Structures are given as structure tokens and as C-alpha cells.
Amino acid sequence: MNAAAVLTQLFAVIVAVAAAPLFLGWVNVCRAWLQNRRAPPLAQPYRTIGKLLHKEAVLAHDVSPLFRFAPYAIFGSMATAAAIIPALGLDLPFARAADAIALVGLFATARVFAALAAMDTGTAFGTLGARREMMLGFLAEPALLMVFFTASLIAGSTELPVIAGTHQSHTLAVHPSLAFAAIAFLMVLLAENARIPVDNPSTHLELTMIHEAMVLEYSARHLALIEWAAALKLFNYACMGFALFLPWGVAVDLASPPVLAGALAVLAAKLLLAGAALALIETVNAKIRIFRAPEFLAFAFMLAVLGLLVRLLVQE
């Protein structure tokens, strides 16, 4: 492990943390355009986070230290996830410490902390949100794992950089199993990031909330970190999708500045397109009832398992 690799690793994390709110802003802008609304500024998520960081924090009387610790744990998990996902380059020294299964575990850790913190307040909406979030989680997590397994059976490894590298090298080989996996992954992305049709990120109706209900009791810096972590989660999911299904343009070695600039440009282009696509999906779909969400995710799970079976049947 050399200094250059550590620096690029650090750079990748900083890029992810810094760019995540921008990506969220872009999705919001696209949504507004598609829905004939006047778009908020691209930098609105930054402004929100900055505003929250300067507000007075209010804590419920009898919350435990767990409640105050959870936002940091959630943010830390998401930032660590950004260090594992090969968004810019394949040469990530930290990615050797944790593979795709550990990445799924990391997302689960963040989810469990969020749910525990929501239960800590002991309010009706907090516990309701925790239950719903865990319900979506136990359906989405195995689906995500199956998507990773399909990809890792092709690559013969569960290390994300190796998977992305393998998919990069067979440029023209089309894997039918990956098509199933991609649809399943998209559905998991929508559910896990509280997007329409499963949840609505801009909802103001408490009874339909999932993610928002969990974080109702947070304010100021805690809320800022949670919002930032949510943006980072969306960014991470997008980058995971790129690593699995569109790995082209990710640099093998980030050492030289032109390569780095190229990788950044490709990532920016991919994110622009992905953000627009996400906004389109959210615009043309209606939010489903919460009782239908398990069916939605069970379908994603089935698709992912089918992808795995197709992979084994066809032996591409």
C-alpha cells in the first residue's frame, strides 16, 4: 500500500461526500422541470445542510445517548461505503478491507441505528417509521445481496473493484442475468433511498411517511448529518449501479492527473444521466400504498434470484 493509493482513496471519499448533495440537487431540479415547476437552485441541498448546521439543536427530554450517537454512525457508515465503491478508480486500498457483502452489512448497520434512534424517542411516528423502514430493509437487503451474487458469480469474486474490472474487460459480452439483476437493483435503489413509488422524499403527510417519520425528532446538526447521509446513500447507490452495470470509464489507476480528470468527467456524465432518469421514474410513477411495498420488493427479490438462476442455467 503506497501513499499515492491512500491519497486517491481519500480523494474518492471526499469527492463522494462533497458531490452527494449536488447529485441530490440535480435530481430535484430534473423533477421540477419534468413536473412543470420552477426548479430550486442546484445547490439547495447544501444550503439546507448549512442552515441546519446553524440552528439550535432540540433534543427530546428523555432520549438516551444512542439517539445523539446515531446520526454520526449513519453518516460514518455511508462515508465508509463510499470508500469501498469504485466510483472513480479501481485501485482502492480500503476496498480490500470489505467486500460487497460487508457493504450490504454496512447499509444494514446504518439502517439499524436509524431505527433504534427512532424507537428511542418513544413517539408514535418514530416507532411507526422504524417498523416500516425495517420492513422494507429486510426485503431489500437480500435482493441487493442477490444482485451482488449474480455479478460476483460472473467475476468469481465478491470484491467490488474486481467485479467492476471484470465487467469492464468484457465490453461486448451481454449477460442476460445482469439484465434481471439491473431491474432488481433499480427497484432496491428506489426503495432504499425513500423514492417514489415506495416512499416520497418530499412528503408532508405523516401517515404515509417512512424515512421522514423516523427522523422527525431530529433537528439542527443531527438532522444535517442525516440529510447529508441520505444524499450520500443515493450517491453510493448510483455509483454501485455504475460499478455493476456500467463500469466503463472507471480508471484502473488514478495516479496521473489527466486520468483522474477523465474519470471525474465520466462519473459526472453518468450521474447527470442517472439523475435525470431517476427523476423521470419518479415523475411517471405514483406512490404505492405501504401495504403494496412488500410486494414491490418481493418482486425485486424474485427478479434477483431469477437473475442468479439464469446465470447458472445459461453459464454465460
Partner 1 sequence: MAEPAVLLNAALVVVAGWLAVGAAGLLRPHATALIARLLFPLGALGSIVLTAVGLAALSAPPATRILPIGLPDLPLHLRLDPLAAFFLFLLGSASTGISVFGAGYFRAGAGTSPGLLCLQYHVFLATMAMVLLADDAYAFMVAWESMALASYFLVTTQHRIGAIRGAGFLYLLLAHVGAIAILLCFGVLQGGSWQFTFDAMRGADLDATRATLAFALALLGFGAKAGLVPLHVWLPEAHPAAPSPVSALMSGVMLKTAAYGLLRVTLDLLPFPLWHWGAALLALGLFSALFGVIFAAVQTDMKRLLAYSSIENLGIVFAGSGLALLFHAERMPLPAALALAATLYHCLNHAMFKSLLFLATGSVLHATGERNLGRLGGLIRRMPWVAWTALVGTLAIAGLPPLNGFVSEWLLLQALLLTPEVPRPFMNMLVPLGASLLALTAALAAYVMVKFYGVIFLGQMREPALADAHDCGRLERLGLLWLALACVLLGLLPAPVLGLLDGVSAELLGASLVHPQASSVWKLVPLSAERASYSPLVFLLGIVALLGASALVATRVYRRRVRRAPPWDCGFPHQDARMQDTAEGFGQPIRHIFAPFFRMHRELPSPLDAVPQYRVTVEDRFWSLLYLPLARLVTRAARLVGGIQQGRIAVYLLYSFLTLLVLLVIVL
Q: Residues 29, 88, 139, 182: which binds partner 1 (CB under 8 A)?
A: 139
Q: Residues 181, 189, 254, 308: which binds partner 1 (CB under 8 A)?
A: 308
> What distance in Å separates the CA atoms of residue 224 and residue 309, rounded to the nearest whole number?
42
- Three cell numbers written together for 23: 447529485
> What distance in Å separates the CA atoms of residue 147 and residue 183, rounded to the nearest whole number?
10
Residues 2-21 that bind partner 1 (CB under 8 A): 13
> What distance in Å separates the CA atoms of residue 270 and residue 262, rounded to the nearest whole number?
12
Nearer Cβ to partner 1 (251/293): 293
> What distance in Å separates the CA atoms of residue 61 and residue 65, rounded to the nearest whole number?
12
Site track for partner 1 across 118-137, x = CB under 8 A: -xxxxxxxxxx-xxx-xx-x
> What distance in Å separates the CA atoms of residue 23 and residue 3, rounded to the nearest whole number?
29
Candidates 230, 240, 242, 238; CA nearest to 281 is 238
Distance of closest approach, residue 128 Cβ to partner 1, in angstroms: 6
Point out which residues pair with 251 in neighbouring strands.
Answer: 89
305 near partner 1 (CB under 8 A): yes
Angle in degrees, CA 237, 240, 246, rounded to 5:
125
Please list, residue by residue across 128-153, b when 16 or more beta carbons sit within 10 angstroms of its beta carbon and e when fewer do.
bbbbbbbebbebbbbbbbbbbbbbbb
Nearer Cβ to partner 1 (145/164): 145
Q: Residues 6, 18, 43, 60: which binds partner 1 (CB under 8 A)?
A: 60
Single-letter residue type at 92: L
Site track for partner 1 across 147-186, x = CB under 8 A: --x--xx--xxxx--x------------------------
38 near partner 1 (CB under 8 A): no
Q: Where are the alpha helices (DSSP H) in 173-292?
A: 176-192, 211-214, 220-245, 257-284
Residues 263-292 that bind partner 1 (CB under 8 A): 291
Q: Residues 24, 151, 240, 304: which binds partner 1 (CB under 8 A)?
A: 304
Nearer Cβ to partner 1 (57/281): 57
Residues 209-248 that bind partner 1 (CB under 8 A): 216-217, 220-221, 224-225
Nearer Cβ to partner 1 (158/200): 158
Q: Residues 145, 189, 239, 264: which binds partner 1 (CB under 8 A)?
A: 145
Interface stretch with partner 1, choices 27-35, 89-97, 180-188, 278-286 (CB under 8 A): 89-97
Cβ within 8 Å of residue 12, ≥6 positions away: 82, 83, 87, 88, 89, 92, 254
Nearer Cβ to partner 1 (41/122): 122
Nearer Cβ to partner 1 (26/107): 107
